[in-house]
Amino acid sequence: MIEAHLPILQVIIPLLAAPICVFLRHPVATWALTTVVSWICLAISIWLLQQVQAGGEIIYEIGGWAAPWGIEYRVDMLSAWVLVIVTSIGAVVMPYAKLSAEKEIDRDRLYIFYTMMLLCETGLLGITITGDAFNLFVFLEISSLASYVLISLSQDRRGLTAAYRYLIMGTVGATFYIIGVGLMYMMTGSLNIADLAKLIPDVAATRTIQAALAFLTVGLALKLALFPLHFWLPNAYAFAPSVVTVFLAATATKVAVYAFVRIIFTVFGGINILQSLQIQDLLAALAIVAMFAGSAVAIYQTNIKRMLAYSSLAQIGYIILGLSLNSVGGISAGLVHLFNHALMKGGLFMVMGCVVYKIGSAKLDDMAGLGKRMPVTMAAFVLGGLSLIGVPLTVGFVSKWALLQAVLDKGWWPVALLIVISSLLAVVYVWRVVEVAYFKVPSTAAMEKDEAPFSMVLPTFILISAAIYFGLDGTTALDIAGDAAATLVRGLK
């Protein structure tokens, strides 16, 4: 019986747990509930992925109303894949959250923190699982509103301005998205994504639909922080509490990319929109600029959380570049990088969370001598950094290799060269941290070993070793991403 209702349980279990947290209010009790719920969510998403692999698409009608009139949840290879990414990050982050949040968030607000984490996860899972364009908007708002609150919980007052800026930009993005959905509804009379995909080709030539596409693209590009719509991201990530940064960096932009993929390749898949409207070159160009601008600015950052945030912008560039290739190889390279980037950036931000826990700062200058003081944590940073660069035997290599192959298949030689050069920029910013942590002699701080607590180091290492494991065994992730890309491209001709 449970098996038939998995798609809805995936969303309502965290949704129900959130108000219960408000009743519990006790920091440890809310933390325990949140952790258990995040593990249940992970189990459900893995179960769903196996079901989809075995039996194909799963459709769940809410309230028993059939689509396109009712809302349906639809799990295919792509959404099951993204569900697993979000829930596995959630399941690793929650045990880590306890100590880090106690350190960085006021005690009487901890229950709000856990409530919002649950709501944020609900929203992200809902975006991924729903088959309805309007329902997607509702979940987009749930996750965004929760993340504004999460960022503003920071004790650093700059967190409040960063959250406010994110609120303004995020609201503009969501509004643009809903305007686009409204315009599509005007022309087709449908809000169901699968139904829209059937109806759009007939009306695709109208200016209304073209305007809709423009609004949807800009709105979602804001949410996923594609250059030049990224201004909200660096400060939001840098000044949010460390756990929040880990969770958002590893999931929020990824889910926005998922929504983007749904619109471009499912809703507008029937008319192969990237080619017919020539936005392919535009996306590829923006992605390449993002790769370079993000990495170049990252080199000059003195706050390492901010540096990693700029590096995220560059990584989003790689993902979008893959998607813009409009081929199975390109899309699967983009999708596999979603997963790989979630692992390594989640791991690296976790390292920074450990550092902030111990030394109370994320500034590069304060990290002198950390290689001796926190050897285990900094080893995780080195491994994650290598993955970010794309060194063989790490996940970064797997996705860059897939991306290079797809680019070469298209015959875009110069772009392939640019990917390699931009990777070299990553060497520079990772090395800066390694140099300070291992080779610079600290001025005052004690040199004895002072490692972060086990409950924080273990989740960090789970993510980092996953980044190594999936680097050695690249095929598991690549196969799933390839299947997902193949189902998406089936519509393209």
Partner 1 sequence: MNLGELRFMRRKVILRVVSKFIIPFILLFGLYVQWHGDFGPGGGFQAGVIFASAIILYALIFGVEQTRKAIPAWVTRSGLSVGVLLYAGVGVATLLLGENFLNYNALANDPVNGQHLGILLVELGVGITVCCAMVTIFIAFAGRGHR
What does the binding site for partner 1 look like in residue numbers (CB under 8 A)?
1, 5, 8, 12, 15-16, 18-20, 22-23, 60-64
Query: Dihedral through CA 269, CA 271, CA 276, CA 278, nearest 10?
Result: -20
**DSSP assignment string, 136-187:** HHHHHHHHHHHHHHHHHT-SSTHHHHHHHHHHHHHHHHHHHHHHHHHHHHHH
Taking the complex as a whole, the smallest distance from the CB of residue 64 to partner 1 amounts, in Å, to 4
**Shortest distance (Å) from residue 153 CB to partner 1:** 16
Neighbours of 415 (CB within 10 A): 20
Nearer to partner 1, 18 or 110 (CB): 18
Q: CB nearer to partner 1: give 24 or 344.
A: 24
* DSSP one-letter code for 5: G
Closest listed residue to residue 294, CA positions, set 244, 233, 338:
233
Q: How far is the CB of 7 from partner 1 (least distance, A)?
A: 9
Task: Name which of 63 and 414 has its Cβ closer to partner 1.
Answer: 63
The smaller minimum CB distance to partner 1, of residues 72 and 195, is found at: 72
Between 14 and 346, CB nearer to partner 1: 14
CB nearer to partner 1: pick between 15 and 285: 15
Per-residue exposure over 421-443, b if at least 16 CB sit within 10 Å of its own CB, e if not: ebbebbbebbebbbebbbeeebe
Q: How far is the CB of 310 from partner 1 (least distance, A)?
A: 35
Shortest distance, position 337 Cβ to partner 1, whole Å: 34
Q: How far is the CB of 382 from partner 1 (least distance, A)?
A: 44
- Residues with Cβ within 8 Å of 414's Cβ and at least 6 positions away in sequence, in order, are none
Tell the smallest beta-carbon distance from residue 398 to partner 1 (Å). Answer: 38
Give the residue with the Cβ less far from partner 1, 83 or 398: 83
Q: Write the CB contacts of 460 (distance below 8 Å, at least 6 apart in sequence).
A: 96, 347, 350, 351, 353, 354, 377, 380
Cβ closest to partner 1, residue 45 vs residue 332? 45
State in angstroms the smallest separation of the CB of 218 from partner 1: 30
In the complex with partner 1, the residue whose CB is nearer, 112 or 433, is 112
As a whole number of angstroms, the distance between CA 402 and CA 322 comes to 9
- Under a CB-based contact definition with an 8 Å cutoff, are residues 387 and 459 in contact? no
DSSP string, 102-140: HHHS-GGGHHHHHHHHHHHHHHHHHHHHB-BHHHHHHHH
Q: What is the 3-state secondary structure (H, E, C) of 368-430?
A: CCHHHHCHHHHHHHHHHHHHHHCCCCCHHHHHHHHHHHHHHHHCCHHHHHHHHHHHHHHHHHH
CA 189, 220, 423, 82 dihedral sign is negative
Cβ-based nearer residue to partner 1, 22 or 205: 22
Nearest to 401 by CA among 411, 391, 410: 391
Take residue 373 and report the two structure tokens written for it: 């003081």
In angstroms, give the least distance from the CB of 55 to partner 1: 19
Min CB(25)–partner 1 separation in Å: 9
